[in-house]
Amino acid sequence: MERLVVVVIFLSFISCAKLGSPIGGAKDTIPPRLIGYNIDTSRVNVSTSARELRLYFDEYVVLKDVRKNLIISPPIEYKKIVPTQLGNKYISIQWDKPLKENTTYNFNFGNSISDLNEGNVLHYFNFAFSTGEKMDRLFLSGTVKSGYFLPEKNAAASSKKNHFLVGLYPLKGSVDYTKKPYYVTLADPDGYFELDHLAQGEYQLLAFDDTDENGIFSPGKEEVYFSSDTLYLNKKGVSGLDIKLFPSRKKLKFKESKEIQSGILFLFEGNPRKVDIVSQEESLLDYKIQHCAYSDSAYVWLGRESLEAIDKKKPMSLKFRYQADSLKGATSIFYKGKENGEIDLSNAVGTKLLPSQKMILASNYPVTKIYTDNWKLSSDSVYQSFSVNVLERDPTKIKIAVNSEFVPGRKYTLLVPEGSVFSNNKVLSKNHQFNFEIEKKEELGSLRIEFSKVPNAKFWVQLLDSKGDIKYSRYTQDKTIWFDDLRPDIYWIRILVDENENGIWEAVDFSLLKPAEPAYLYDKPIEIKPLWELVENSWNPFVSGVGSDKRTISEKVEN
């Protein structure tokens, strides 16, 4: 009896030892190998009543982030996947609903399969079978990347990871983009994608950065590419597609209204071009509406008489009607009469200015009047002339630009006395002093960009830092663009074309299936050094097939 116990314990030890790492010898670098599956070896004529796919491997495997990596085309709503955290020698995927007749199903596991012991990944493994007499063999391949944001692998501090999906919707009536694509695949880290085992037919192509990883495009949150052109798949596959994604606008809708000091803030989604707001209250005798084109925020600034009327009855319900482009509606807000703050001015550009730069002050309230007679701009106790104008591009901060002939290397002091800046119902109540200096020329570099061809409309040439923030910008239609007085750094060049010349670069409007205005990214960084002039004339983005290429999918397939 004791011998039997010893044998049982010994066999148990051997069984458990199979899961561990081998002792000694070379490290295992070979990924798991598929050795069998639970359907017919021909993978065709699979019964539509099948409820499980089981794949057998030559070693223990685990699945990592399988719900993010596994893509099934056409989609199957699976209920269970084995294994999860524990190792197993097979993978099981189970579902409830019957399969479609005469359909090829492709299970793409991405990089989710690896062996248990060494973590060797079975890269981009996929498995296909058909419920018909043959498997579909057509394919679609190419590259997909952002045409607006810096490529992740080149950005020193990228803010997000790309999750680019490319999908096809069969053209059978209208296309429902609120559902997952019929065929879909995930691009690899370099942007390369393949859609395999496709059936002949007519399709609509959609590609997007699936940031919420739900397999469905979310307008306003995710970059997108779409074509109103039909993609025809006949007897051969299509390769070499070059897809660029662009930001998308949210659907226009009213979000909320809320009280702020001396006013009310109206928030919208969808970047309305124009917002009108009208009070339905007789007690609001004077107020000012402020909205900058394509901003999500609109302000109702209450004047002195309105605030005094509210103070007598506070708190009270205020009713407004609004129109944001074609969107009309009404809203009310329970106004409690928050304590009014004071006008405050701040430095909006920092204490070191470029020689060509303006000094910018930011006000926390809309500026209705400025008296600059008592303002003083001086350098080494010597006063000099200047001009002032109000910029209202940013509705959250009203900016005051102070322009003068600033001398490189000098330090300046700007004095703004109390009583010189007015809002609707208040006045600047204290003196402000701003100290700043102008950078020396020898600390700066310059860039000249020469184009052999330019668009028929004006465009922005932007220099971005490694985070993708705009550091310098020119709005022009010139073939030669100068950037003087650049701070030494690594920059990227982006061009945005203003086709309708409305002063705003327009993103994709998916509700109207309207593409973005053209945009182009230079595919390599440029380095600016002190006292260097860099000339860039090797890039011509305005040629067919580059940037936001507007050739149709059909033209690309034919070529």
Please write the tens of the pLDDT for every residue from 486-498. Answer: 999 999 999 999 9
Between β-strands 238-245 and 138-146, what pairing exists: parallel, antiparallel or unpaired? parallel
Mean pLDDT of 435-457: 94
Q: Who contacts 551 (Cβ-Cβ below 8 Å, separation ≥6)?
A: 544, 545
C-beta separation of 420 from 365 below 8 A:
no
C-beta separation of 369 from 422 below 8 A:
yes
- Cα dihedral sign, 300-284-325-208: positive
Mean pLDDT of 296-318: 80
What end-to-end distance do the CA atoms of the chain give, in Å? 80
Instruction: Reduce the DSSP state of residue 554 to 3 states and report it.
Output: helix
**How far is it, in rounded angstroms, from Cα 294 to Cα 420?**
31
Whole-number pLDDT of residue 395 = 52
230, 214, 207: which is closest to 146 by C-alpha? 207
Whole-number pLDDT of residue 546 = 37
In angstroms and rounded to an integer, the radius of gyration of the C-alpha atoms of the chain is 32
Q: Considering the chain, what is the average pLDDT of its residues?
A: 86
**How far is it, in rounded angstroms, from Cα 18 to Cα 399?**
70
Whole-number pLDDT of residue 17 = 36
Least confident of 52-66, 301-315, 523-537: 301-315
If one counts every other C-beta atom within 10 angstroms of the C-beta of residue 5, the result is 9
> Looking at residue 215, what DSSP letter applies?
S
Q: Who contacts 538 (Cβ-Cβ below 8 Å, separation ≥6)?
A: none
Q: Is the pTM of this model over 0.85?
A: no
pLDDT tens-digit profile of 95-141?
999 999 999 999 999 888 999 988 899 988 989 999 999 999 999 99
More confident residue, 226 or 22: 226
**Phi first, then psi: what are they for 553, rounded to 5°?**
-60, -40
Burial 160-169 (b: 16+ CB within 10 A, else e): eebebbbbbb
161, 247, 152: which is closest to 466 by C-alpha? 152
Whole-number pLDDT of residue 416 = 97
User: Is residue 404 scored above 50 in pLDDT?
Assistant: yes
